[in-house]
Amino acid sequence: MSDHLMATYARLPVRFERGEGPWLWDERGNRYLDALSGIAVCNLGHAHPAVARAVCEQAATLVHVSNLYRIGPQETLAERLCARAGMDAAFFANSGAEANEAAIKLARLWGHRRGVQNPTIVVAEGSFHGRTLATLTATGNRKVQAGFEPLVHGFLRVPYDDLEALEAVARNMPEVVAVLVEPVQGEGGVRIPSAGYLAGIRSLCDRQGWLMMLDEVQTGMGRTGRWFGWQHENVTPDVMTLAKALGNGVPIGACLARGEAASVFQPGSHASTFGGNPLACRAGLAVLDVMESEDLVARAAALGKRLRAELKERLAPLPGVVEVRGRGLMVGVELDRPCGELVGRALEQERLLINVTADRVLRLLPPLTLADEEAHRIVDAVSRLVAAFVGG
Ligand SMILES: *Cc1c(COP(=O)(O)O)cnc(C)c1O
């Protein structure tokens, strides 16, 4: 481990040098299968030629000019994302946390314009929205917050997947201006809300005049088998954020909004030096091109269904397995005990990259470009690991 890196991560003892599709090679030439995609980032796999080409071309043409000038690729990316998502306007940032910061600021400004003194945003238990001060406050996990007090005012927490709790907020809290939730909680353990939850939030927001804001940083860009997580419920949010897979590894985040919410920010309201620069936006455009031409959203839906069915068949009978669940290629295997050590075992014994979240949930977020044969390998390896773990 390097002495010169702040110890923000307990890193696994492997250094990858090269990747191709779902495969990675370490410095000794060992090959690994990546069922995590850099945490739902490299949805097209590693070193995708179309993204590499776009980034190389743009790097050799123009990397950055600042948002003081018009930026062609940024305008095109905004137009294409808005068309895809039914949104009217985009603000580009460099990460998920920043995209959410933009959404939070937008909601507050929107509230103040309507005369609300202390605009309050309702957030959920078990949520994850990032590590900046406002987004860690919005995050429903004490471990993320502890030691960073004082936290930011203006958030109100309710249980996830609980419309009753939101109704109670509506009755009692006049300063609420927005609800911010994930369509599926990723870091919270691949938690899928009941059918009707997002639709219920939509009607509540309509009735109360609240903004419905969805954090699609992990669920967005095809991961769940739809372009965006809210499309599983046929509702449209007022504000949504994207990041992880938007640049296939090139840092980029976006806050999209429609209707009145789209014109809240005015010159001076919000800004980013790097956000939406030509390089990042070219990567985003290349990602959209590949997703569309290879129909990867449908692929994620179909392959995800099969992968989950196979995992269920192999794992559900085991005593320590609580549930196999997921949406598209966002997959969780919940065990009855903490299983963090499976990550190291998978790496060592199976040369497989997986993740464990919420202590007891083994999480798979493989590239959407995964071949059937590679999906089988993941199922085999995960089944062996889990069977050995709960069996002994
Ligand atoms: C990863 C994630 C974030 C934070 O993104 P960063 O790019 O790490 O800032 C926010 N929300 C959700 C749902 C995420 O999964």
Instruction: Please write the tens of the pLDDT for every residue from 336-352.
Output: 999 999 999 999 999 99
pLDDT of residue 111: 98
Rounded to the nearest whole angstrom, what is the distance from the C-alpha of residue 128 to the centroid of ligand 1?
7
Q: Which fold has domain 16-34+295-390?
A: Aspartate Aminotransferase, domain 1 (3.90.1150)
pLDDT of residue 384: 97
- Please state, in angstroms and rounded to a whole number, the distance separating the CA atoms of residues 313 and 238: 39
Hey, whose CA ends up nearest to atom 5 of ligand 1?
Answer: 96
Per-residue model confidence as pLDDT tens digits over 63-75: 999 999 999 999 9
- Please state, in angstroms and rounded to a whole number, the distance separating the CA atoms of residues 252 and 93: 6
Hey, whose CA ends up nearest to atom 11 of ligand 1?
Answer: 129
Q: Show the tokens assigned to 387.
A: 């069977």
Q: Is the CB of 129 under 6 A from ligand 1?
A: yes
Q: What is the mean pLDDT of residues 269-292?
A: 98
- Please state, in angstroms and rounded to a whole number, the distance separating the CA atoms of residues 122 and 154: 9
Rounded to the nearest whole angstrom, what is the distance from the C-alpha of residue 24 to the centroid of ligand 1?
23
The average confidence (pLDDT) of the chain is 97
Q: Show the tokens assigned to 377.
A: 């390998």
Rounded to the nearest whole angstrom, what is the distance from the C-alpha of residue 183 to the centroid of ligand 1?
13
Percent of the chain whose predicted confidence (pLDDT) is above 90: 98
- Please state, in angstroms and rounded to a whole number, the distance separating the CA atoms of residues 251 and 109: 26
Rounded to the nearest whole angstrom, what is the distance from the C-alpha of residue 363 to the centroid of ligand 1?
15
Q: Show the tokens assigned to 247.
A: 């640049």
Q: Is the CB of 103 under 6 A from ligand 1?
A: no
Q: Is the CB of 215 under 6 A from ligand 1?
A: yes
Catalytic residue set = 128, 215, 244
Ligand 1 atom closest to Cα of residue 185: 13
Q: Is the CB of 217 under 6 A from ligand 1?
A: yes
Q: What is the mean pLDDT of residues 192-212?
A: 98
3-state secondary structure of 18: strand
Pick the closest to residue 132 from 170, 94, 177, 164 (CA basis). Answer: 94
- Asked whether the predicted pLDDT for residue 355 surpasses 60, the reply is yes
Q: How far is CA 147 from the centre of its chain?
A: 25
pLDDT of residue 199: 98
Q: Is the CB of 95 under 6 A from ligand 1?
A: yes
Q: Is the CB of 128 under 6 A from ligand 1?
A: yes
- Please state, in angstroms and rounded to a whole number, the distance separating the CA atoms of residues 41 and 20: 14
- Asked whether the predicted pLDDT for residue 208 surpasses 80, the reply is yes
Contact predicate 200/206, CB 8 Å: no
Rounded to the nearest whole angstrom, what is the distance from the C-alpha of residue 282 to the centroid of ligand 1?
21
- Please state, in angstroms and rounded to a whole number, the distance separating the CA atoms of residues 358 and 220: 21
**pTM value?**
0.98
Rounded to the nearest whole angstrom, what is the distance from the C-alpha of residue 129 to the centroid of ligand 1?
6
What's the pLDDT band for 234 if we cut at 50, 70, 90?
confident
Ligand 1 atom closest to Cα of residue 218: 15
Q: What is the mean pLDDT of residues 105-122?
A: 98
User: Which residues, in sequence order, are bridge partners of residue 323?
Assistant: 334
Q: Which residue has the tokens 């949104």?
A: 87
- Pocket test residue of 95, 182, 217 for ligand 1, highest count of atoms within 8 A of CB: 217
Hey, whose CA ends up nearest to atom 15 of ligand 1?
Answer: 218
Q: Show the tokens assigned to 369.
A: 């470009």
CB atoms under 10 Å from CB of 353, counted, come to 24
Specify whether domain 50-293 bears CATH 3.40.50.150: no
Q: Tell me the domain boundaries of the chain.
A: 16-34+295-390, 50-293
Phi/psi of residue 158, nearest 5 degrees: -130, 160
Percent of the chain whose predicted confidence (pLDDT) is above 70: 99
The DSSP result for 283-332, as a single string, is HHHHHHHHHHHTTHHHHHHHHHHHHHHHHHHHHTTSTTEEEEEEETTEEE
Hey, whose CA ends up nearest to atom 10 of ligand 1?
Answer: 129
- Asked whether the predicted pLDDT for residue 167 surpasses 90, the reply is yes
pLDDT of residue 347: 98
pLDDT of residue 2: 82
pLDDT of residue 303: 98
